[in-house]
Amino acid sequence: MKTYQIAGVREYFHRQHPYNLRLPMESFITNAQNWYVLTLILGIGMLIIGGHLLVEGSVAIAKKFGVSTLVIGLTVVAFSTSSPELALNIIASANNHGDLCLGNIFGSNIANIGLVLGIGALICKLPVTGRIVKVEFPWLVVATIFVGLVTLFGTLDGVWPFLFLCFFIFLMVKWFKIGKESESKIADESGDVVPDIHCSAIAAWMMLIGGLLLLGLGGKATEIGAVTGALEFGLSKILVGGTVVAIATSLPEVVTTIIAAKKGHPDLAVGNVVGSNIFNILFVLPITILVNPIATPNGVWVYVVVMLLMTLLAWFLTMDNRIKPKEGGILVGLFICFLIGITIWGVR
Protein backbone atom coordinates (compact mmCIF):
# COMPACT_ATOMS: atom_id res chain seq x y z
CA MET A 1 0.00 0.00 0.00
CA LYS A 2 1.19 3.52 -0.73
CA THR A 3 1.60 5.19 2.63
CA TYR A 4 1.07 8.91 2.12
CA GLN A 5 3.56 8.84 -0.78
CA ILE A 6 5.47 11.78 0.61
CA ALA A 7 8.59 9.96 1.68
CA GLY A 8 10.21 13.08 3.06
CA VAL A 9 7.68 13.32 5.89
CA ARG A 10 9.26 10.51 7.85
CA GLU A 11 12.77 11.76 7.02
CA TYR A 12 11.71 15.17 8.31
CA PHE A 13 10.55 13.70 11.63
CA HIS A 14 13.83 11.77 11.91
CA ARG A 15 15.80 15.01 11.50
CA GLN A 16 13.64 17.06 13.85
CA HIS A 17 13.11 14.69 16.78
CA PRO A 18 15.54 12.94 19.17
CA TYR A 19 16.17 9.27 18.61
CA ASN A 20 13.92 8.19 21.46
CA LEU A 21 10.97 9.89 19.76
CA ARG A 22 11.62 8.57 16.26
CA LEU A 23 10.09 5.13 16.60
CA PRO A 24 6.89 6.25 18.41
CA MET A 25 6.40 9.10 15.93
CA GLU A 26 7.02 6.87 12.92
CA SER A 27 4.79 4.14 14.36
CA PHE A 28 1.99 6.65 14.94
CA ILE A 29 2.17 8.01 11.37
CA THR A 30 2.37 4.52 9.87
CA ASN A 31 -0.66 3.29 11.82
CA ALA A 32 -2.64 6.39 10.89
CA GLN A 33 -1.83 5.79 7.21
CA ASN A 34 -2.56 2.06 7.30
CA TRP A 35 -5.93 2.68 8.97
CA TYR A 36 -6.68 5.79 6.94
CA VAL A 37 -10.45 5.22 6.85
CA LEU A 38 -10.64 5.07 10.65
CA THR A 39 -8.24 8.02 10.89
CA LEU A 40 -10.51 10.02 8.59
CA ILE A 41 -13.62 9.22 10.65
CA LEU A 42 -11.90 10.08 13.95
CA GLY A 43 -10.55 13.30 12.43
CA ILE A 44 -14.00 14.43 11.31
CA GLY A 45 -15.39 13.64 14.77
CA MET A 46 -12.71 15.77 16.44
CA LEU A 47 -13.45 18.59 13.99
CA ILE A 48 -17.14 18.58 14.87
CA ILE A 49 -16.55 18.58 18.63
CA GLY A 50 -13.75 21.13 18.31
CA GLY A 51 -15.95 23.39 16.20
CA HIS A 52 -18.68 23.39 18.85
CA LEU A 53 -16.21 24.23 21.62
CA LEU A 54 -14.49 26.91 19.54
CA VAL A 55 -17.70 28.72 18.67
CA GLU A 56 -19.04 28.59 22.24
CA GLY A 57 -15.73 29.72 23.73
CA SER A 58 -15.19 32.49 21.17
CA VAL A 59 -18.67 33.94 21.60
CA ALA A 60 -18.37 33.79 25.41
CA ILE A 61 -15.03 35.61 25.33
CA ALA A 62 -16.40 38.19 22.88
CA LYS A 63 -19.28 38.87 25.26
CA LYS A 64 -17.14 39.10 28.37
CA PHE A 65 -14.50 41.40 26.89
CA GLY A 66 -16.84 43.52 24.77
CA VAL A 67 -15.22 42.41 21.50
CA SER A 68 -17.45 41.86 18.50
CA THR A 69 -17.90 38.37 17.09
CA LEU A 70 -16.79 39.83 13.74
CA VAL A 71 -13.32 40.60 15.13
CA ILE A 72 -13.15 37.22 16.90
CA GLY A 73 -14.00 35.53 13.59
CA LEU A 74 -11.43 37.57 11.65
CA THR A 75 -8.61 36.86 14.10
CA VAL A 76 -8.80 34.09 16.70
CA VAL A 77 -11.15 31.74 14.85
CA ALA A 78 -9.59 32.44 11.43
CA PHE A 79 -6.10 31.70 12.74
CA SER A 80 -7.19 28.51 14.48
CA THR A 81 -9.03 27.13 11.47
CA SER A 82 -6.02 27.95 9.26
CA SER A 83 -3.68 25.98 11.52
CA PRO A 84 -4.06 22.71 9.53
CA GLU A 85 -2.89 24.50 6.36
CA LEU A 86 0.08 25.96 8.25
CA ALA A 87 1.08 22.64 9.84
CA LEU A 88 0.87 20.73 6.57
CA ASN A 89 2.72 23.39 4.56
CA ILE A 90 5.64 23.66 6.97
CA ILE A 91 6.25 19.90 6.72
CA ALA A 92 5.65 19.77 2.95
CA SER A 93 7.84 22.82 2.28
CA ALA A 94 10.67 21.43 4.41
CA ASN A 95 10.58 18.38 2.15
CA ASN A 96 10.56 20.47 -1.04
CA HIS A 97 6.94 19.85 -2.03
CA GLY A 98 6.17 23.40 -3.10
CA ASP A 99 3.52 22.34 -5.60
CA LEU A 100 1.59 20.58 -2.83
CA CYS A 101 1.89 23.72 -0.67
CA LEU A 102 0.56 26.06 -3.36
CA GLY A 103 -2.24 23.67 -4.23
CA ASN A 104 -3.20 23.50 -0.56
CA ILE A 105 -3.25 27.29 -0.04
CA PHE A 106 -5.03 28.30 -3.23
CA GLY A 107 -7.31 25.27 -3.13
CA SER A 108 -8.23 26.02 0.49
CA ASN A 109 -9.18 29.60 -0.38
CA ILE A 110 -11.36 28.33 -3.23
CA ALA A 111 -12.92 25.77 -0.88
CA ASN A 112 -13.52 28.42 1.79
CA ILE A 113 -15.55 30.52 -0.64
CA GLY A 114 -17.29 27.80 -2.62
CA LEU A 115 -17.75 25.10 -0.01
CA VAL A 116 -17.61 26.78 3.40
CA LEU A 117 -19.47 30.01 2.63
CA GLY A 118 -21.79 28.18 0.26
CA ILE A 119 -22.79 25.54 2.82
CA GLY A 120 -23.23 28.20 5.50
CA ALA A 121 -25.61 30.13 3.23
CA LEU A 122 -27.51 26.95 2.34
CA ILE A 123 -28.20 26.28 6.00
CA CYS A 124 -29.55 29.77 6.63
CA LYS A 125 -29.52 33.24 5.12
CA LEU A 126 -26.19 34.70 6.20
CA PRO A 127 -26.50 38.38 7.16
CA VAL A 128 -23.28 40.23 6.34
CA THR A 129 -22.25 43.44 8.07
CA GLY A 130 -21.66 46.54 6.00
CA ARG A 131 -18.11 46.59 7.34
CA ILE A 132 -17.28 43.21 5.77
CA VAL A 133 -18.73 44.35 2.43
CA LYS A 134 -17.06 47.77 2.45
CA VAL A 135 -13.74 46.99 4.15
CA GLU A 136 -12.79 43.36 4.79
CA PHE A 137 -13.83 41.85 1.45
CA PRO A 138 -12.09 44.60 -0.57
CA TRP A 139 -8.90 43.96 1.39
CA LEU A 140 -9.23 40.24 0.65
CA VAL A 141 -9.65 41.02 -3.07
CA VAL A 142 -6.57 43.29 -3.05
CA ALA A 143 -4.51 40.66 -1.21
CA THR A 144 -5.67 37.94 -3.63
CA ILE A 145 -4.72 40.04 -6.68
CA PHE A 146 -1.36 40.96 -5.14
CA VAL A 147 -0.38 37.37 -4.28
CA GLY A 148 -1.79 36.08 -7.57
CA LEU A 149 0.26 38.50 -9.68
CA VAL A 150 3.44 37.68 -7.78
CA THR A 151 2.77 33.96 -8.25
CA LEU A 152 2.11 34.28 -11.98
CA PHE A 153 4.73 36.84 -12.99
CA GLY A 154 7.32 36.77 -10.22
CA THR A 155 9.16 34.30 -8.05
CA LEU A 156 8.03 33.14 -4.62
CA ASP A 157 11.26 33.95 -2.82
CA GLY A 158 13.44 36.93 -1.96
CA VAL A 159 11.62 39.93 -0.53
CA TRP A 160 8.08 38.81 -1.38
CA PRO A 161 7.36 36.78 1.79
CA PHE A 162 8.37 39.78 3.90
CA LEU A 163 6.07 42.07 1.91
CA PHE A 164 3.21 39.58 2.34
CA LEU A 165 3.84 39.51 6.10
CA CYS A 166 3.96 43.33 6.28
CA PHE A 167 0.57 43.45 4.54
CA PHE A 168 -0.72 40.87 7.03
CA ILE A 169 0.54 42.85 10.04
CA PHE A 170 -1.11 45.99 8.65
CA LEU A 171 -4.48 44.23 8.50
CA MET A 172 -4.05 42.70 11.95
CA VAL A 173 -3.43 46.14 13.45
CA LYS A 174 -6.61 47.41 11.77
CA TRP A 175 -8.63 44.49 13.13
CA PHE A 176 -7.41 44.97 16.68
CA LYS A 177 -8.34 48.64 16.44
CA ILE A 178 -11.83 47.51 15.45
CA GLY A 179 -11.84 45.31 18.54
CA LYS A 180 -11.71 48.44 20.71
CA GLU A 181 -15.06 49.57 19.35
CA SER A 182 -18.08 48.67 21.42
CA GLU A 183 -19.77 45.42 20.47
CA SER A 184 -23.15 47.11 20.29
CA LYS A 185 -21.93 49.49 17.59
CA ILE A 186 -21.01 46.64 15.24
CA ALA A 187 -23.98 44.52 16.31
CA ASP A 188 -26.38 47.33 15.43
CA GLU A 189 -24.93 47.31 11.94
CA SER A 190 -25.37 43.58 11.42
CA GLY A 191 -28.26 42.71 13.70
CA ASP A 192 -26.10 39.98 15.21
CA VAL A 193 -26.38 40.40 18.96
CA VAL A 194 -24.22 38.08 21.01
CA PRO A 195 -26.42 36.28 23.55
CA ASP A 196 -25.52 35.87 27.18
CA ILE A 197 -23.54 32.70 27.80
CA HIS A 198 -23.50 31.70 31.44
CA CYS A 199 -20.00 30.42 32.08
CA SER A 200 -16.89 31.71 33.79
CA ALA A 201 -13.99 33.31 31.96
CA ILE A 202 -11.85 30.25 32.77
CA ALA A 203 -14.47 27.92 31.27
CA ALA A 204 -14.72 30.08 28.16
CA TRP A 205 -10.94 30.01 27.63
CA MET A 206 -10.86 26.25 28.26
CA MET A 207 -13.53 25.75 25.58
CA LEU A 208 -11.58 27.96 23.18
CA ILE A 209 -8.24 26.24 23.79
CA GLY A 210 -9.85 22.78 23.76
CA GLY A 211 -11.57 23.62 20.49
CA LEU A 212 -8.28 24.80 18.97
CA LEU A 213 -6.50 21.61 20.00
CA LEU A 214 -9.26 19.36 18.66
CA LEU A 215 -9.41 21.31 15.41
CA GLY A 216 -5.66 21.02 14.97
CA LEU A 217 -5.58 17.29 15.75
CA GLY A 218 -8.75 16.63 13.81
CA GLY A 219 -7.49 18.58 10.81
CA LYS A 220 -4.23 16.62 10.80
CA ALA A 221 -5.96 13.25 11.21
CA THR A 222 -8.46 14.09 8.48
CA GLU A 223 -5.69 15.28 6.19
CA ILE A 224 -3.65 12.08 6.69
CA GLY A 225 -6.67 9.87 6.09
CA ALA A 226 -7.88 11.81 3.06
CA VAL A 227 -4.48 12.19 1.38
CA THR A 228 -3.48 8.58 1.95
CA GLY A 229 -6.72 7.39 0.41
CA ALA A 230 -6.45 9.79 -2.53
CA LEU A 231 -2.85 8.90 -3.32
CA GLU A 232 -3.90 5.27 -3.44
CA PHE A 233 -5.55 6.26 -6.73
CA GLY A 234 -2.35 7.81 -8.14
CA LEU A 235 -3.31 11.51 -8.18
CA SER A 236 -0.57 14.16 -8.69
CA LYS A 237 0.69 16.31 -5.80
CA ILE A 238 -0.69 19.65 -6.97
CA LEU A 239 -4.02 18.01 -7.81
CA VAL A 240 -4.11 16.38 -4.37
CA GLY A 241 -3.07 19.68 -2.79
CA GLY A 242 -5.74 21.67 -4.62
CA THR A 243 -8.55 19.19 -4.02
CA VAL A 244 -8.27 16.52 -1.33
CA VAL A 245 -5.81 18.33 0.96
CA ALA A 246 -7.55 21.67 0.44
CA ILE A 247 -10.91 20.20 1.40
CA ALA A 248 -9.44 18.25 4.33
CA THR A 249 -7.63 21.28 5.76
CA SER A 250 -10.74 23.43 5.17
CA LEU A 251 -12.95 21.14 7.25
CA PRO A 252 -12.35 23.22 10.42
CA GLU A 253 -13.75 26.25 8.56
CA VAL A 254 -16.68 24.16 7.30
CA VAL A 255 -17.54 22.91 10.79
CA THR A 256 -17.04 26.30 12.46
CA THR A 257 -19.12 28.13 9.84
CA ILE A 258 -21.98 25.60 9.98
CA ILE A 259 -22.11 25.69 13.77
CA ALA A 260 -21.86 29.48 13.91
CA ALA A 261 -24.62 29.85 11.31
CA LYS A 262 -26.94 27.40 13.12
CA LYS A 263 -26.32 29.12 16.44
CA GLY A 264 -27.18 32.52 14.95
CA HIS A 265 -23.70 34.07 14.74
CA PRO A 266 -23.36 35.01 11.04
CA ASP A 267 -20.58 37.53 11.71
CA LEU A 268 -18.48 34.74 13.20
CA ALA A 269 -19.24 32.53 10.19
CA VAL A 270 -18.47 35.08 7.46
CA GLY A 271 -15.60 36.67 9.39
CA ASN A 272 -14.05 33.22 9.75
CA VAL A 273 -14.03 32.69 5.97
CA VAL A 274 -12.67 36.14 5.09
CA GLY A 275 -10.09 36.05 7.87
CA SER A 276 -9.00 32.50 7.06
CA ASN A 277 -8.43 33.34 3.38
CA ILE A 278 -6.33 36.36 4.35
CA PHE A 279 -4.37 34.24 6.84
CA ASN A 280 -3.72 31.61 4.15
CA ILE A 281 -2.25 33.92 1.51
CA LEU A 282 -0.60 36.55 3.71
CA PHE A 283 0.63 34.40 6.62
CA VAL A 284 0.71 30.69 5.73
CA LEU A 285 2.16 31.30 2.24
CA PRO A 286 5.06 33.56 3.29
CA ILE A 287 5.94 31.26 6.21
CA THR A 288 5.97 28.39 3.71
CA ILE A 289 8.27 30.35 1.38
CA LEU A 290 10.63 31.23 4.23
CA VAL A 291 10.95 27.54 5.08
CA ASN A 292 11.81 26.77 1.46
CA PRO A 293 11.41 28.98 -1.68
CA ILE A 294 8.74 27.71 -4.06
CA ALA A 295 9.21 27.19 -7.78
CA THR A 296 5.91 28.07 -9.45
CA PRO A 297 4.53 24.86 -10.97
CA ASN A 298 2.92 24.65 -14.40
CA GLY A 299 -0.83 25.16 -14.41
CA VAL A 300 -0.93 27.15 -11.16
CA TRP A 301 -2.58 29.99 -13.10
CA VAL A 302 -5.82 27.99 -13.09
CA TYR A 303 -5.94 27.99 -9.29
CA VAL A 304 -5.02 31.69 -9.12
CA VAL A 305 -7.71 32.72 -11.62
CA VAL A 306 -10.43 30.56 -10.01
CA MET A 307 -9.48 31.83 -6.54
CA LEU A 308 -9.78 35.45 -7.68
CA LEU A 309 -13.06 34.91 -9.56
CA MET A 310 -14.64 33.06 -6.62
CA THR A 311 -13.55 35.84 -4.24
CA LEU A 312 -15.00 38.54 -6.51
CA LEU A 313 -18.24 36.58 -6.84
CA ALA A 314 -18.57 36.16 -3.07
CA TRP A 315 -17.96 39.89 -2.59
CA PHE A 316 -20.63 40.68 -5.16
CA LEU A 317 -23.12 38.35 -3.44
CA THR A 318 -22.59 40.10 -0.08
CA MET A 319 -23.40 43.56 -1.43
CA ASP A 320 -27.06 43.29 -0.40
CA ASN A 321 -25.83 42.49 3.13
CA ARG A 322 -26.77 38.82 3.05
CA ILE A 323 -25.99 35.62 1.19
CA LYS A 324 -29.16 33.75 0.31
CA PRO A 325 -29.52 29.95 0.21
CA LYS A 326 -29.90 30.06 -3.59
CA GLU A 327 -26.63 31.98 -3.85
CA GLY A 328 -25.01 29.51 -1.48
CA GLY A 329 -26.09 26.75 -3.85
CA ILE A 330 -24.42 28.60 -6.72
CA LEU A 331 -21.13 28.80 -4.78
CA VAL A 332 -21.22 25.09 -3.92
CA GLY A 333 -22.11 24.20 -7.52
CA LEU A 334 -19.21 26.24 -8.90
CA PHE A 335 -16.85 24.59 -6.44
CA ILE A 336 -18.00 21.14 -7.55
CA CYS A 337 -17.49 22.17 -11.19
CA PHE A 338 -13.96 23.30 -10.31
CA LEU A 339 -13.18 19.94 -8.72
CA ILE A 340 -14.57 18.01 -11.66
CA GLY A 341 -12.76 20.21 -14.19
CA ILE A 342 -9.25 19.97 -12.74
CA THR A 343 -9.69 16.27 -12.05
CA ILE A 344 -10.81 15.42 -15.59
CA TRP A 345 -8.26 17.53 -17.38
CA GLY A 346 -5.49 16.86 -14.86
CA VAL A 347 -4.40 20.49 -14.59
CA ARG A 348 -0.86 20.58 -13.20
pLDDT in tens, 262-311: 777 766 778 878 888 999 999 999 999 998 888 887 778 898 999 999 99
Bridge partners, 150 (sequence order): none
Note the residue count of the chain: 348
Residue partners of 232: CB distance under 8 A and separation at least 6: 1, 2
Give me the sign of the Cα torsion angle 257, 262, 266, 267.
Answer: negative
> What's residue 69's pLDDT?
66
Domains and CATH numbers, the chain: 40-345 (1.20.1420.30)
SS (H, E, C) 51-96: HHHHHHHHHHHHHHHCCCHHHHHHHHHHHHHCHHHHHHHHHHHHCC
pLDDT in tens, 157-204: 889 999 999 999 999 888 777 655 544 444 444 444 444 456 787 888
Dist CA 223 CA 38 (whole Å): 12
pLDDT in tens, 130-163: 777 888 899 999 999 999 999 988 778 889 999 9
Neighbours of 64 (CB within 10 A): 15
Q: Is the pLDDT of residue 216 over 60?
A: yes
Dist CA 48 CA 61 (whole Å): 20
